[in-house]
Structure 1
Amino acid sequence: MSEHPHSAPEELIFALDIGTRSVVGLIVEPTGEQFRVIDCTIREHSERSMLDGQIHDVMAVSKVIGKIKEELEEKHGPLTKVAVAAAGRSLRTKRVRMDLPLSRHAAVTRDDVLTLEFSAVQEAQAQLAQELNEQDVTRYYCVGYSVVNYFLDGELIGNLIDQRGEIASVDVIATFLPRMVVDSLLAALHRCGLDMQALTLEPIAAINVLIPVTMRRLNIALVDIGAGTSDVALTEEGAITAYGMVPVAGDEITDALMNAFLLDFPMAEEVKRALTHAEKISFTDILGLEQTLSSEEVVKAILPEITNLAGKIAAKILELNGKPPQAVMLIGGGSLTPKLTERVAEALGLPASRVAVRGADAIRQFVGEHPLLDGPAFVTPVGIAVAARRHPVKYVTVTVNDAAIRIFDLRKMTVGDALIASGLDIRRLHGRPGMAITLTVNGRMRIIPGGHGTPPVIEKNGEACGLDTPISEGDRIVALAGADGEDAQAQVIDLMDKLDTLELTVNDEPVSLGPIALVNGMPHPLDAPLQDRSEVVIRLPRTVEEVLQEAGMLDAGASEGDEEFFRFVVNGRETVLPARMKIIQIGGKDAALSDFIRPGDRLVYREEPYHAPAIRDVIPPEEWVQESISVRFNGQPVTITLSALSITMNGRPADQDEQVENEAVITVKASPPTAPVFSDVFRYVDVSLERPETEGITRLVMLVNGEPASFHTELHAGDKLELYWE
């Protein structure tokens, strides 16, 4: 401490930049608004303990940090606090498209758009957790997001607010910092007896020292090209809008030199570094041959790899920004690669002057002239030290629905960020619209929408607020989900556009009938609720039956038990007939219930008691069988029955001409046949056997087939009988 008697140790800032290949430690002294780098030390990792910015071996990394700490403590006294940055390459970027069904009649509000954007960020968070098999989605801090595009009904649109449509969509790129990165960083520091004084993100650190606030309204891309990865950050409208990472960087150029000239890794690294300042380069390949080439020849051999690196960096910038930025700044050791700036400018379609490497000269205001800090590799370490004083990242602790939530204050944090960090599903906050009903009405589809859901209640410290309301330490946030809309309901009466009527007369009285409804082919009351996917037909009555039902003269719902019937049994077979007869006439002509009817028709309808039939009318023909023969009597045909019918009704003998009684049990039996004689004919013919008064007539002549016969002569089928006086 003897070198700096005027500085108390706590005033010095100890900053660490933990990279994939090496760790840089700085001691920075703040003097008013300026910063002076007092000391610097660099150590490379002895083994692959870092991978793409993530600490894989905490103990190995803490050893390197410990050595740097010891080295600096020899000159500057005990160091207990350190400023660090989470590597840009450890950030996870996810692109997500999210849809929001809209109410058909309402315009899109700012709240709708914010809900959609935060829902997309939350979906990105969930997808990221799923990809990395992480159960707790809140283990990823959202450190920034940018909207790539808005869509309305699938069409690209500049701004959704006040638009109307069916589906609003947003395409969002969200960047997350895994909590594991911070946890491993803390663990490595604690092993060395260091507390985290401040945390920042490497891209933010670099932007803080490279790009003044006055320049941040410009659309600038910052690319930190390290050994393993190239980190990309974008600024616009005064804020850092997006982060990204490309897994290609300086090592790709080293590999290209190894392949082109058969070099081992350390020799290829030496050649790569010499390219930035030497015109002639000498090296020894793995076969022991020495070569001396001009730097132009060396660059020419690896130009395809340089072009490839530039192309991938440019593609990531375009993906994050949606368009070429106004300028590109390259930092990090890999930015010194020859021809890289020209190739990046070509890939982005920018003038070469708009892409530049920014080194120690760009941060001279902070560094001054320091012999060790001579290139773009030191921009980020200095930025980390500056951020520790100017933009320290703190935890913000708020409560969401009485649960304490800690959030990294990496940017202007809002109520929406707090809700995401708490794990609340933002999509579920707004009440869902009720289920719609889809109907087919007279062959056309009709959709009956459900009720609207109500918006959520979101309050900060007891006052209503929006998702974009800024939050600060200790805020109390309450978020209550809105109520879901009621499911759609519909009755036939709701579906009727115009009410036609059918005019006609029934029993000489004028009648006016409205439409009827058939649902899935069955009659349906006009005021009864309809089920989803029903097929509805609405029309005027068409048949006599429908007219009588609508006129209240025919009970459509009458069950068989309610109606009176006339029943009887003949030889064990029951017959059931209505107790009342329906008399139907249209225009004076008999008609049936199923007959069609037209406007203006004169309909007559009445019911009369059923007239009981005679027994003969209800005996089936097959029960009425009697054997008979046919003969001719005096030239006339005569049928003689050979057997007699025996009829009983309710157990008593009955005549065939008697009326059937209700509930009667009738039995019909035929007696065995007997041979007929001449006298049987007299039952079927009307003939007088008295002798006429005429003179000369003395005797009665009886002939069968011309032969004399008597009353007892037996007859056969086809016999010719004659009877006369002479």
Structure 2
Amino acid sequence: MNEHVFALDIGTQSVTGIILQKTNDSYKVIDFCVRQHKERSMLDGQIQNVVQVAEVITEVKCALEKKHGLLQHVCVAAAGRALKTIQTEKSISIIDKPITTEEEIKHLELSAVQQAQALLAKENKHNFTNYHCVGFSILHYKLDGEKIGSFIDQVGKEATVEIIATFLPKIVVESLLAALERADLTMEALTLEPIAAIHVLIPESMRRLNIALIDIGAGTSDIAISNDGTVVAYGMVPIAGDEITEAISDHYLLDFKVAEETKRKIINDQEATVHDILGFESTITYEDLVPQIAESVDRLANLLATEIRHLNAKAPQAVMLIGGGSLTPKLNEKLATYLQLPANRVAMRGIEAIQCLKSNEGLPTGPEFVTPVGIAISATQNPLHYITVYVNDKVTLMFETKQLTVGDAIIQAGIEVNKYYGKIGLASIITFNGKKMTLRGEYGDPPTIFVNDQAATVDSLIASGDKIVIHKGKDGKNSTVTLEEIVGDMKEIPFTYNDQEFVLKPVYQANGQIVDKNYLVQDKDTIHVVMAKTIADFLSEQTLLNDQEKEDFFVIVNERKVKLDKGSTIILVNGKQANMTTYIHEEDQITMTPSENVTVKTLLHQLDKQFDYQIHVTFNGEPVELKQNRMTMIRDDQPLEETSELHHGDRLVLKETNVRAFIFQDIFRYVDIDLSQIRGSYKLYKNNELTTFHEEVIHGDKLEIVWE
């Protein structure tokens, strides 16, 4: 059974009508008709003047009806350039809550798409429901601003997903319907131009490949990126074939229409004879033309490559060129160079590449007819329908550009997934060791999703009439944290101090009261947790550290600070010299020799001075020590003895005195002689020689007094 399919490609410059004959699974072009717009009634794929566009559609329809009879139903497509593409990113905090499931990542992606939808609506002052999301792709995952492959179990502060999403304005479809109605046509099926071209050029088994399709028209070049069996991104470059035509017109002084005809003729016949605006005739060959348009071709290729990388985040596996502009000389080679692809990965494709289309002599075969043929075939094989689903009892109309999921319905319904997460429990704000600290409450649970009363996820497929219910997740519990959870495992440290066993343990205080480590911290608590770490910490706890041990012992002598080594405590840890700031470790053996009392003698010894001058002699066979002060030490105007104790920080005055020679009679200050019991005369001897009381004596002298 033969079936005829009528399709319209409503472009910016012209309307192309085409009739295909369908026989089983194959198609054959029966006829076609092209008519130019008389006015600029189309702009960037959007109908600007419904009446004028309807008139051109009617011309095409009538021309075909003369040969093939009444045409009432038509397949059409929304232009790729009518699609709106938004790039944005969405971030969430993952402090204390890393992402652990793919579902959480999907929720973040959906939030990013919804943000893009809201941005688009804001830019155009429309409601978000005026746009259908027809696809989105992930550009990058970022952890704390750095690109990353996956969020699963990553630790950081912030997770960010960067997406590019494409939306179809409802007004595009509505204006199409209005123009068709004026031309007495009913829309039989609707598709998107890039989807139509991809579906007829790429076999279903190959649609998983990452391929860029570029439809190069007159004023714009439309780009579609396919991956994993669907179109994931759309874009547009605002230059195309007209850029090349203008270059020809400028160089050869040709009218624009003549330049366009010349371009086509040279591409088809390798040369063309033209008359410029001055009337001179010349013949332009393909070889002549290529260098004259090289700069424009290079610019077009560069812009196309840049947009493809922007949409796809990398070069695709291959690029297909369709549309009249794809015939531009050397364009495929330049584009391959900019994308760093092999030359055979960028190719022009005509309708002869459509496998299900039978050849037909006398009918077009070029790349400019791929889209009209694709519309006719794709609209019958893969038509886009509006479906109705119910999201939380709200009627939601969706444009079926692909297999729709719960996530797509959530986007179209305008439900913000992040608002359906349970609230975070109340936090507690405490003062911990003098610093403010916030203890977060537990995170809320994610939302639960049901489709027709069956548990589902955002990736679950949906069909028309499905009832989708999203329940808010359970709120998180308020902050419930113990002291041990805040400080962690503070290990006890056993050691010995002066042969006595001790254990360092943390001391927990809450609001001035001693508590244990299992104390449940409350909002506004003042917490102190202290654990001795150094020898000084330990001694302070044990009240074993006196002022002298806490710091070096010094006095001020004649306005000069003198540090006394003998005033410091001697500390040994495991037999090695240590100090008060030494950290205590498990099983350390600590010994301390307390500081001795510091006297005037201690100070003078350190100053390498002697308090007195002394000599040793014998008197009547007995040893005697003679001495006299060499130094005078004064504190608070009071003289000190050699044995006087000094205090930390004492201010002292030290004076040296003149030392005189000892004489014989000085001995009587050190020996006792009872003269009342003695009768008769006496004689004095020094070293067995007679001497007198005023005779000088020196160290080692032998002194005697003999009575007669």
Q: Is residue 182 from structure 1 mapped to residue 173 from structure 2 by the alignment?
A: yes
2:148 is aligned with 1:157: yes
CA contact under 8 A between 1:499 and 1:515: conserved in structure 2? no
C-alpha displacement at 1:354, in angstroms?
Answer: 1.3
- Per-residue CA deviations over 1:75-114 (Å, capped at 9, x if unaligned) read 2222221100100111111111111223625542111011
Letter matched to residue 530 of structure 1: D
Q: Is the 2:200–2:355 Cα contact (8 Å) retained in structure 1?
A: no
Is 2:527 aligned against 1:530? no
Report whether the alignment pairs 1:55 with 2:47.
yes
Larger CA Rg, structure 1 vs 2: 1
TM-score normalized by structure 2? 0.68
- For residue 317 of structure 2, the aligned residue among 306, 323, 326 is 326
Quick one: structure 1 residues 106 and 374, their matched pair in 2 at CA, closer, same or farther if it must change by over 3 Å? closer
Cα distance change of structure 1 residues 489 and 351 upon mapping to structure 2, 3 Å threshold:
same
> How has the CA–CA distance of structure 1 residues 327 and 444 changed in structure 2, closer, same or farther, with 3 Å as cutoff?
same
SS of match in other structure, 2:354: helix
Aligned to 1:694: none
Shift of residue 367, structure 1, vs aligned partner:
4.1
Task: Please tell me whether the aligned partners of residues 423 and 443 of structure 2 are also in contact (alpha carbons under 8 angstroms).
Answer: yes
- 1:402-451 Cα shifts (integer Å, max 9, x gaps): 12111011011101111111111122122242454555522456441122
The C-alpha deviation readout for 1:539-576, integer Å capped at 9, x for no partner, is 79xxxxxxxxxxxxxxxxxxxxxxxxxxxxxxxxxxxx
TM-superposed CA distance for 1:401, in Å, is 1.2
Q: In structure 2, give the amino acid aligned to 1:132.
A: N
Show the counterpart of 2:64.
Answer: 72
Contact 1:493 1:527 in 2 (8 A): no
In the alignment, what sits opposite 1:455?
Answer: 446
- Find the partner of 1:21 among 13, 28, 44: 13
Match of 2:267 in 1: 276
Matching of residue 343 in structure 1 with residue 334 in structure 2: yes
Match for residue 612 of structure 2? none
Q: After the TM superposition, which of the residue ranges 16-25 and 290-299 deviates more from structure 2? A: 290-299
1:373 to 364, 371, 383: 364
Query: In 2, distance between residues paired with 1:252 and 1:185?
Result: 28
What does 1:650-689 align with in structure 2 at a 5 Å threshold? none
Larger deviation, residues 439-448 vs 483-492: 483-492
* Candidates 111, 124, 127, aligned match of 1:119: 111
1:373 & 1:73 partners in 2: Cα distance? 19
Question: How many residues align structurally?
Answer: 511
Question: In 2, Cα distance between the equivalents of 1:24 and 1:312?
Answer: 27
Q: Distance in 2 between matches of 1:515 and 1:364?
A: 80
Alignment check: 8 A CA contact 1:451 1:488 kept: yes
Equivalent in 221, 229, 235 of residue 226 of structure 2? 235
2:649 paired residue number: none
Deviation at 1:143, TM superposition (A): 0.6
Conserved? CA contact 1:491–1:529, under 8 Å:
no
Question: Equivalent residues in 2 for 1:146-225 (5 A)?
Answer: 146-225=137-216
Determine if contact 1:398/1:405 at 8 Å carries over to the other structure.
yes
Aligned to 1:554: none
Deviations 1:262-286 (A, max 9, x none): 3222112112212302333332333
Query: Partners of 2:421 and 2:95 in 1: how far apart?
Result: 12
Q: Are residues 515 and 232 of structure 1, via their aligned partners in 2, closer, same or farther at CA, if it must alter by over 3 Å?
A: closer
- After superposition, the C-alpha distances for 1:317-363 in whole angstroms (9 at most, x for unaligned) are 11222222221110001000111011111111112111111112212
Matches within 5 A, 1:5-16: 11-16=3-8
- The equivalent residue for 1:40 is 32
Q: Give the whole-Å Cα distance in 2 for the aligned partners of 1:217 and 1:125.
A: 26
Q: How does 1:97-108 map to 2 (within 5 A)?
A: 97-102=89-94, 104-105=96-97, 107-108=99-100
CA drift at 1:166: 3.7
The one-letter code matched in structure 2 to 1:239 is T
* 1: CA distance, partners of 2:243 / 2:46: 19
Identity value in percent: 48
CA RMSD of aligned residues (A): 2.7
Change (3 A) 1:361 1:139: same
2:22 is aligned with what amino acid? P
**Structure 2 residue aligned with 1:714:** none
For structure 1, the residue ranges without an aligned partner over 5 or more in a row are 1-5, 501-513, 520-525, 541-726
Alignment-mate amino acid for residue 102 of structure 1: I
Which residue of the partner structure matches residue 352 of structure 1?
Answer: 343
Indicate the larger mover: 400-409 or 99-108: 99-108
Partner of 1:104: helix, strand, or coil? Answer: coil
TM-superposition CA deviations, 1:107-159 (whole Å, max 9, x none) = 4211101101111111111111112222x112111111111122233332222
Which of 247, 250, 253 does residue 241 from structure 2 map onto?
Answer: 250
Deviation at 1:529, TM superposition (A): 4.3
Shift of 1:246: 1.3
Per-residue CA deviation, residues 224-255 of structure 1 (Å, 9 max, x unaligned), is 11112111112223332222211111111122
> Contact 2:99/2:105 (CA < 8 Å) preserved in 1?
no
**Contact (CA 8 Å) 2:138, 2:164: kept in 1 or not?**
yes
The answer (yes or no) to whether the contact 1:93–1:175 under 8 Å persists in 2 is yes
- Structure 2 CA distance, aligned partners of 1:465 and 1:341? 46
**Shift of residue 45 of structure 1?**
0.8
Q: Cα deviations across residues 662-720 of structure 1 (Å, max 9, x unaligned)?
A: xxxxxxxxxxxxxxxxxxxxxxxxxxxxxxxxxxxxxxxxxxxxxxxxxxxxxxxxxxx
Q: Unpaired segments of 5 or more residues in structure 2?
A: 493-506, 513-518, 532-708
How do 1:250-329 and structure 2 match up within 5 A?
250-329=241-320
Distance 1:331 1:493 in 2: 68
Q: Would you say the 8 A contact 2:319–2:345 is kept in 1?
A: yes
In structure 2, give the amino acid aligned to 1:357. Answer: M
1:386 maps to 377
TM-score (norm 1): 0.66
1:144 and 1:406 map into 2 onto residues whose CA distance is: 16
CA contact (8 A) 1:80 1:195 kept: yes
Deviations 1:495-534 (A, max 9, x none): 687899xxxxxxxxxxxxx865569xxxxxx989434xx9
Task: Please state whether the residue corresponding to 2:463 is helix, strand or coil.
Answer: coil
Answer yes or no: is the 8 Å Cα contact 1:331–1:379 preserved in 2.
Answer: yes
Q: Contact (CA 8 Å) 1:218, 1:237: kept in 2 or not?
A: yes
Q: Aligned partners of 2:245 and 2:341: how far apart in 1?
A: 27
Tell whether 2:121 aligns with 1:129.
yes
Partner of 1:397: 388
2:357 is paired with a residue whose SS is helix
Is contact 1:345–1:354 with CA below 8 Å preserved after alignment? Answer: yes
Partner Cα separation in structure 2 for residue 395 and residue 372 of structure 1:
34
Superposed displacement of residue 491, structure 1: 9.1
Residues 29 and 528 of structure 1: CA distance in aligned 2, closer, same or farther (over 3 Å): closer
CA distance in 2, matches of 1:517, 1:207: 70
The equivalent residue for 1:673 is: none
| Cα distance between partner residues in 2 of 1:33 and 1:492 | 74
> Residues of 2 paired with 1:78 and 1:283: CA distance?
42
Q: Secondary structure at the match of 2:268?
A: coil
Whichever residue aligns with residue 56 of structure 1, its letter is: Q
Q: Which amino acid aligns with 1:272?
A: K
- Partner AA of 2:47 in structure 1: I
Q: Give the 3-state SS of the residue equivalent to 1:12 in structure 2.
A: strand
Task: Answer whether contact 2:99 2:151 (CA < 8 A) is retained.
Answer: no
In structure 2, the CA distance between the partners of 1:439 and 1:25, relative to structure 1 (3 Å rule), is same
CA drift of 1:486 comes to 4.6
Which whole-Å CA distance do the structure 1 matches of 2:508 and 2:473 have between them?
41
